[in-house]
Amino acid sequence: MPDINDVCGGLADAVEAVSGLRALPYVSSQVTPPQAHVYTRAYDPRLVFGDSKSMYLLGVRVFVRATNERSAQKSLRSYMEPSGATSVRAQIEDSDNWAPTVDYVEVTEIGQPFELDVGSETYWAVDFDVDILW
């Protein structure tokens, strides 16, 4: 069974399959948009199936530049599409982007775009909730 860091790394790798998007398997105070950061969500540690499978509840936050509100939201919406080269969901749920031992990966919610200050910079961002059984 992989540890949480392995799963976060796998999720970052899947997100990096999105055309032009870089991804980190952790949250960073350094953002180079367009970029995604993987984070852990609250989860029930009892969701372990035998000695080999566990449910991981993670999140992906995608950042874009906030230089223009309209273009920032257009960029985020392209990442929010259900399919296509810029779809975060499509790449996360593509089994070709995961190890064969992963049972399933599912995006369960795509949040509302919002402005976010990180350090001295302002970005637009959107969160994706992801469930992984590995």
What is the predicted pLDDT for the residue at 119?
86
Domain ranges (residues) in the chain: 4-133
Whether 54 and 47 have beta carbons less than 8 Å apart is answered as: yes
At 15 the pLDDT is 98
CB distance 46 to 68 below 8 Å: no
Rounded to a whole number of angstroms, the distance between the first and last alpha carbons of the chain is 7
pLDDT tens-digit map of 49-79: 777 789 999 999 999 999 899 999 999 999 9
Segment holding 59, helix H or strand E: strand 53-65
User: Which CATH architecture group holds 4-133?
Assistant: 2-Layer Sandwich (3.30)
Condensed to tens digits (0 to 9), the pLDDT of residues 4-15 reads: 999 999 999 999
